[in-house]
Chains A and B, each alone.
Chain A
């Protein structure tokens, strides 16, 4: 198709027909500031921060929605555009809680950055502010509308990415705010606590509940033995907190930092990912051989579990009974590890560093405790770990590379590493299934047909003479058709992997500030497995197996 010729700031630019001024400018390397715009998710032209002057047009246009046309001349930095942009941001600031110094997004806030870029030195408009709502009841996500800029990015993300639509604008004019249905708390609606809205928020209006203080408390308690485990996705995302390129693998520095912070043991959740795969693989075999409920659906994403409980409670039987890897690790640490190290489980604090806010909601669930002892005590997100490292004054970039603790929990196969990527759990579990049923190692290790970034992927393979049909979906909008099929009784699959976030945990919400990029980095970390060793591990922890499983059918909705 013929390209459209236009000029932006007197520079000739070619753009695709139907594209916007913003897209044309970005393709040509010309920056136009934005606030409410979120690529592929939110494009409403509501905030007017991307306002530009168009030759011949009466009024200024919002670049994010203004389509390009032949011969168009755009000025992104004319005095008129700059002043309008500055005015707009000043008006937004006039109804914004200005506690920047104590805000969780201080130095990491899009509004703060805009104010700085546009040279705003004084908020000229003072007056009444919209009555704020502060909601910190939910275990994972906090909402503070005094900082909300009404960009709508969280609303659209929840609706389009997760297919949930928990949030909406409510009220009108000055009283407009973003709220869950019926202005309830996040805790009282069908929110899966995935944190995608937190990821979309440009300011500090939505953020993960901070638990750093609980970790510091445990570390300073001489009675407590504090063990930390980190999820595979964290190592590819943590570097960004310290200005390293997105996707930089910082495993060694992370382990070194955790040790300097004072954790007694530093482990990789990968070890437990192996356990999960073993358990999930064996559970699948049991179900196939004993006419159990099929298709079996993976259960390592707590966001997905919550969604299933809210939206598809009739399908709970389909969920694998396996706990998620970090919960299994917690269970092992509080049982097998405690016994072998002669420790009181009550004196062990297990801290999980996870990419997702739903894990915070997972650890407080009643079935994740035994005799009053929680499997995992605290979950920190990647962002929180970044803050903790900074708080301890650790010079992260200059740390030497260190290993995780290399005792028995330091061993793991390659299977766990791909856990965080969409399709990874399925692939790893299928390896176990094939190996166990056919009693021989696999010729081919990569079921590449189920790996990648599309919403739903399906595959068919032969295991011990049986045609096994599998499907993989990440994000709830993609999982929905698969679930509806099961409900209607027409599902052709035997095994389904569902992850709460698009692309899997490696792109989970608070893992990083920009999405969908580290997953590709992570998929490169794929390793190889050693079947015999995994089998031995399973034998060794047989005694703990019942603690690694949980009964789904007896579950009740936690907040009903």
Chain B
């Protein structure tokens, strides 16, 4: 575990201070840290534990329970592919594989260039649009027949490689 940079420590301290003393602050703090840093470093869990009076083990338990929280930095763009029953029947496993190939990411991991994170998720509650995927908060339905999602991914890759 590498040492966290000073800037991230300040972000964590600010978030912890903001929610300190509120009832049930653990999840509020975790959500904010996840949002601002893109992941939850161990140092953050320790600070949150100390501020909220629960053990670090318990905070870690919460982090590993919810899929929204990650202990490793997320990529710049996050893709969620629904693995719920309806989506699965409509071919979301194939979709997942195609996205893996396209982005060079393994399932539930982040690509080496840090551009994409790919998560297989539980039911997203949009079964009528199965199979469903979400890219950066944008929902893509009927993703097997429509190429909208893949076009968007390709566009991102193109832009980002242009930047570099």
Chain A residues packing against B (C-beta within 8 Å)? 159, 164-172, 179-183
In the complex, residue of chain B having the shortest beta-carbon distance to the beta carbon of A181: B57
The answer to whether A181 and B55 have CB atoms under 8 Å apart is: yes
User: Which label, helix, strand, loop or mixed, suits the secondary structure of the A interface?
Assistant: mixed
B42, B45, B58, B64: residue with the most chain A Cβ atoms closer than 10 Å: B64
The answer to whether B64 and A166 have CB atoms under 8 Å apart is: no
A179 vs B64: C-alpha distance when bound (angstroms): 11
Given A165-B55, A165-B57: 12 more A-B contacts, CB < 8 Å: A165-B58, A166-B57, A168-B61, A169-B61, A170-B60, A171-B65, A172-B64, A172-B67, A181-B56, A181-B57, A181-B60, A183-B60
A165 vs B66: C-alpha distance when bound (angstroms): 20
Over the window 22-66 of chain B, the binary record of Cβ atoms lying under 8 Å from chain A Cβ atoms (1 yes, 0 no) is: 000000000000000000001001000000001111101100111
With a cutoff of 8 Å between Cβ atoms, the chain A residues found around residue B65 in the complex are: 169-172
Chain B residues packing against A (C-beta within 8 Å)? 42, 45, 54-58, 60-61, 64-67
A169, A171, A179, A181: residue with the most chain B Cβ atoms closer than 10 Å: A181
With a cutoff of 8 Å between Cβ atoms, the chain A residues found around residue B56 in the complex are: 165, 181-182
A179 vs B54: C-alpha distance when bound (angstroms): 16
The answer to whether B61 and A170 have CB atoms under 8 Å apart is: yes
In the complex, residue of chain A having the shortest beta-carbon distance to the beta carbon of B55: A165
The answer to whether B64 and A167 have CB atoms under 8 Å apart is: no
Q: Which of A159, A171, A179 interacts with B55 by CB under 8 Å? A: A159
With a cutoff of 8 Å between Cβ atoms, the chain B residues found around residue A168 in the complex are: 55, 57-58, 60-61
User: Which label, helix, strand, loop or mixed, suits the secondary structure of the B interface?
Assistant: helix
Of the A-B pairs whose beta carbons lie under 8 Å apart in the complex, a sample of 25, sorted by A's number, is: A164-B55, A165-B54, A165-B55, A165-B57, A166-B57, A167-B57, A168-B55, A168-B57, A168-B58, A168-B61, A169-B65, A170-B60, A170-B61, A171-B65, A172-B64, A172-B65, A172-B66, A172-B67, A180-B57, A181-B55, A181-B56, A181-B60, A182-B45, A182-B56, A183-B60
B162–chain A nearest beta-carbon distance, Å: 39
Q: Which of B42, B54, B66 interacts with A182 by CB under 8 Å? A: B42
A164 vs B58: C-alpha distance when bound (angstroms): 11
With a cutoff of 8 Å between Cβ atoms, the chain B residues found around residue A169 in the complex are: 61, 65
With a cutoff of 8 Å between Cβ atoms, the chain A residues found around residue B60 in the complex are: 168, 170, 181-183
A93–chain B nearest beta-carbon distance, Å: 25
A172 vs B69: C-alpha distance when bound (angstroms): 12
B135–chain A nearest beta-carbon distance, Å: 24
With a cutoff of 8 Å between Cβ atoms, the chain A residues found around residue B55 in the complex are: 159, 164-166, 168, 181
A182 vs B71: C-alpha distance when bound (angstroms): 10
A172 vs B121: C-alpha distance when bound (angstroms): 13
With a cutoff of 8 Å between Cβ atoms, the chain A residues found around residue B66 in the complex are: 172
In the complex, residue of chain A having the shortest beta-carbon distance to the beta carbon of B67: A172
In the complex, residue of chain B having the shortest beta-carbon distance to the beta carbon of A179: B57
In the complex, residue of chain A having the shortest beta-carbon distance to the beta carbon of B42: A182
B45, B54, B57, B61: residue with the most chain A Cβ atoms closer than 10 Å: B57
B72–chain A nearest beta-carbon distance, Å: 13
A498–chain B nearest beta-carbon distance, Å: 21
A165, A167, A168: residue with the most chain B Cβ atoms closer than 10 Å: A168
With a cutoff of 8 Å between Cβ atoms, the chain B residues found around residue A165 in the complex are: 54-58
B127–chain A nearest beta-carbon distance, Å: 20
A171 vs B67: C-alpha distance when bound (angstroms): 9
A170 vs B58: C-alpha distance when bound (angstroms): 8
Query: Which 8 pairs between the two chains have the least Cβ-Cβ distance?
Result: A165-B55, A168-B57, A168-B61, A181-B57, A170-B64, A181-B56, A172-B65, A171-B64
A175–chain B nearest beta-carbon distance, Å: 9
With a cutoff of 8 Å between Cβ atoms, the chain B residues found around residue A171 in the complex are: 64-65
A182 vs B72: C-alpha distance when bound (angstroms): 13
A467 vs B66: C-alpha distance when bound (angstroms): 56
A183 vs B45: C-alpha distance when bound (angstroms): 13
B111–chain A nearest beta-carbon distance, Å: 24
B32–chain A nearest beta-carbon distance, Å: 20
A181 vs B1: C-alpha distance when bound (angstroms): 14
A164, A167, A170: residue with the most chain B Cβ atoms closer than 10 Å: A170
A451–chain B nearest beta-carbon distance, Å: 32
In the complex, residue of chain B having the shortest beta-carbon distance to the beta carbon of A177: B64
With a cutoff of 8 Å between Cβ atoms, the chain A residues found around residue B57 in the complex are: 165-168, 179-181
With a cutoff of 8 Å between Cβ atoms, the chain A residues found around residue B64 in the complex are: 170-172
With a cutoff of 8 Å between Cβ atoms, the chain A residues found around residue B67 in the complex are: 172
In the complex, residue of chain B having the shortest beta-carbon distance to the beta carbon of A170: B64
A164 vs B49: C-alpha distance when bound (angstroms): 12
In the complex, residue of chain B having the shortest beta-carbon distance to the beta carbon of A155: B57
A170 vs B55: C-alpha distance when bound (angstroms): 13
In the complex, residue of chain A having the shortest beta-carbon distance to the beta carbon of B63: A170
A189–chain B nearest beta-carbon distance, Å: 8
A173–chain B nearest beta-carbon distance, Å: 9
In the complex, residue of chain B having the shortest beta-carbon distance to the beta carbon of A189: B57
A159 vs B57: C-alpha distance when bound (angstroms): 10
A311 vs B35: C-alpha distance when bound (angstroms): 32
B124–chain A nearest beta-carbon distance, Å: 17
With a cutoff of 8 Å between Cβ atoms, the chain B residues found around residue A166 in the complex are: 55, 57
A179 vs B60: C-alpha distance when bound (angstroms): 10
In the complex, residue of chain B having the shortest beta-carbon distance to the beta carbon of A164: B55
In the complex, residue of chain B having the shortest beta-carbon distance to the beta carbon of A171: B64
B77–chain A nearest beta-carbon distance, Å: 25
A143–chain B nearest beta-carbon distance, Å: 13
A357–chain B nearest beta-carbon distance, Å: 19
A181 vs B46: C-alpha distance when bound (angstroms): 10
In the complex, residue of chain A having the shortest beta-carbon distance to the beta carbon of B71: A182
B33–chain A nearest beta-carbon distance, Å: 16
A164, A172, A182: residue with the most chain B Cβ atoms closer than 10 Å: A182
A165 vs B61: C-alpha distance when bound (angstroms): 12
With a cutoff of 8 Å between Cβ atoms, the chain B residues found around residue A183 in the complex are: 60
